Structure 1
Amino acid sequence: MKNMLLIVFYVAIDGVFGESVSVMEGDSVTLHTSLPEIQRHDVLQWRFGAKGALIAQINKGANKSSVYDDVPDGRFRDRLKLDNQTGDLTITNTRTEHSGHYEVTSTRNKIFTVTVLPVDAVKSVSVLVGDSVSLNTDLTEIQRDDVIRWRFEHLNPPIAEINRKDRKISKHDGSERFRGRLQLDYWTGSLTIRNITTKHSGFYEVDISISNRHTIHKSFSVTVRGEVRTVSVMKGESVLLHTGLTEIQRDDFITWMFEDIILAEIYKNQSSLDQLFYTYDGADERFRDGLELNKQTGSLNITQCKTSGVYELKINRRAIYQRFTVTVSVAGLSSGEIVGIAVVVLLVFAVVAVVIYRRLKISKLKSITHSGEYKLQISGSGKNTFERFSVSVSDEIRPVLVMEGESVPLDNDTIIQTDDEILWMFGDKDIVIAESKGGTRGTTTDHGPDGRFRGRLKLDHQTGSLTITNIRTEDSGPYKLQISRGGQKSFKLFNVSVSGPTALGSIPEEEHLFQSVRYWRQRSITTES
């Protein structure tokens, strides 16, 4: 979906003020009179077009309100709503033929130039249980007096709200349905629902009030799919994960993933299926030489399976999302015996973790298996002294592919607490480029090494997420997020690759097409049906 263009200007001609508004087709727009209340005996009229066709009127003296939605040619039929107190006019489910000049005449006259941009009328979103989904306002940045209100199933009060004028951000997620799941983007007003469940399926709407002058209304239909298939297999045997397709159709884009690792992809463009068929079994030692992709159906065969976990299938054009929970068992052992062995191993590890050194340095931690509680025991003079250390290690590196000139958000998937300290670092030397201490009490960004990030970093003090705008090839590299909470530290790692125009010649044509399709797919996955 194109970004919503909002251009506002004022001109004064004989006391009449003009305002320009752009809205996406299918959305609603409210044109505000700026009157707190129509006075007694006043007559307020709304007119449309060059000929000034009367489309709505309020006569306070006669206590009468009317809409004439059958003029000039019936284009407004069942689309006009009039606020009897303020005289504000709402046009619902807008179409391109509603573009034009609107004038309100009363004690204060105003002219609006409305432009309706064509776009698909229905904004539908499909997502899997447990995933996150973002509902976008399409604003680039909220202005000083803007108010954003999100509702679910037409219910009041709103589930989330941003009021820039009052510097207020609130999430009314006290009910069990949304508790701890909502995240508001401070810059754009977009809403993210995390760890989504089937009870979050339904109708979402947002009212975007632009400085009390006009209001944009957008709506979303969210469908949460809960299909998860369970597969059991013995270690070393093969397992086939089915797409359910008999044949891949033109423009199908099929992706198989394990955790955040892409295992295989097929993109069928006319007859060039063989050229756009890839397995990435070399990307992870657990799957090396162990993946086979069916070119006709897209089903994935894992040979000599040895990795338990959740495998995910996405077919973009058809909006198909499926998960497979694969459990790998060791031959000759029941599941209960395996659990018992795991418990014994954990107990042994806990005993070994008791050390007698004053300080223990663990260098170059490479696996989350080193995470946990470490206990130091100091014996002397007939007494023992104990100290505990909590170590959190992340070996998950999130790859991010972006084209030069775009903006890229590095998202933090956890909820930021009041006393959390956030540090964003760049490069091998962990140069700090942004930090937040206690939310709004101290949020700053830095220009980075050699000033390369000057004016291009945005830190969300609510979520800790970092956005890099107008990204350049020299911005490629590792980014690290450090979250300090209650004496403990956790990390998230991102590896950003920025592709410039000159880099395209060194990439094989079919691989470049894969990168491009994957890049745009990742940008639009939350709003595609």
Structure 2
Amino acid sequence: MIMTCSSANSIIICSFLCFCVLLSGSVPAGDYVTLNPETVIQRGDKVQWLFGYKDTLIAEIKGENREKTTHEGPDEIFKNRLKLDETTGSLTIKLIDSEHAGLYTLKIRRGRKTLKKKFHVSVRGESLQSGMRSVMEGDRVFLFSDTEIQTDDEVQWLFGDKEQTVLTEIKNTEVTKYDGTDWRFRDRLELDEETGRLTITKFSAEHAEFYTLKITRGRDKIYKRFYIFVEEWKKTVMEGESFTLKPAREIKKDDVIEWLYGDREQQTLIAKLKGKTGEILTRDDVADERFRGRLELDETTRSLTITNTRTAHTGVYKLDITSSSGFSEQTFTVTVMEEKILKEDSVTLKPDTKIQNDEIQWRFGKENSLIAEIKGGTGVTHDDVPDERFRDRLELNKKTGDLIIKNSKYEHAGPYKLKMQILSFVNEFNELIHLVPE
């Protein structure tokens, strides 16, 4: 659903410096809604989307480069649900549910003028919460009917939201699987004819979607809906290696592809492919230019490759796909490790960048134990964790951020992580330390 301005449902209030428009609309639970500014966003405009009567900031565009940021909102209700278009300023809320109903305010600051537009969104239908589940890549997923299947019932399991595909059915007590019509489900489907339970084996991101159970009982029809999604994909590479992030599903010719980098609080567009024109855009000048000369976007597969990696490329990557049937997304967490082989002696770990008034943290091991930090200009070491192996061995230089491990032993070998809060951006650097005897 797209909400735009029309004289039938808008109230326009004008003043010298502020223009305000109020729109309203209703959306079924599980659908998406796009809130459209219906005005041309100019370079230099500051665009903010606010939610609720407390005006909680959930998305914004600022700066000459139109860098966009989305936020998770109160109680993380907008986590992984917002899509902000940096060109038009439109905001899309995906998988909308009852908790997303309410007032949305768009503010565009242009010089001394401020344009405001308010949208009131209501959500109808049954909440998604009971049917929403997250699974891990490779899991065996069971979808239950929660109702007793009777002898004359016709049972169908459907895949997709708007354009639905029949996966399996029970008709006249005969079970039929249509896993050959969609390559994603080939040899992965199992249907229990007594309970109606559907099993999907080796679940992956390409299977993440709506699943609908339809039971026809005489003249009556019973529906149950599920939304299954995959926890984020994770990968670890060594510094200097390349890695490729691949879409989980087949990309159609007219689909618009966006690759973003950064945590959920600040995601920066680094590559885009416009479906209709085939135009490829890579933005290696953003995110402190850490991607300069390193981005490769495949126009056929739409996969993104980052070459000659550094620890600065550690972080969260997200793929947004916009198609005629809706939206989908994938999240990737990548860790780039710097490997060092050192003799037993003092070890100095250095940040890759000069620190200023930054907050930094040094962490160790798979448990990410905090062993040193600089906050408010004060350096502190925590040498009692884990299991006191760093007792009286740590020194932290609060000017450079260097961490020194004195008289290091085998027990100090392992992964070290440096996390830096630089203004509004978070950098993470990783090193894998191996110690060998002299």
TM-score after normalising by structure 1? 0.36
Higher relative strand content:
2
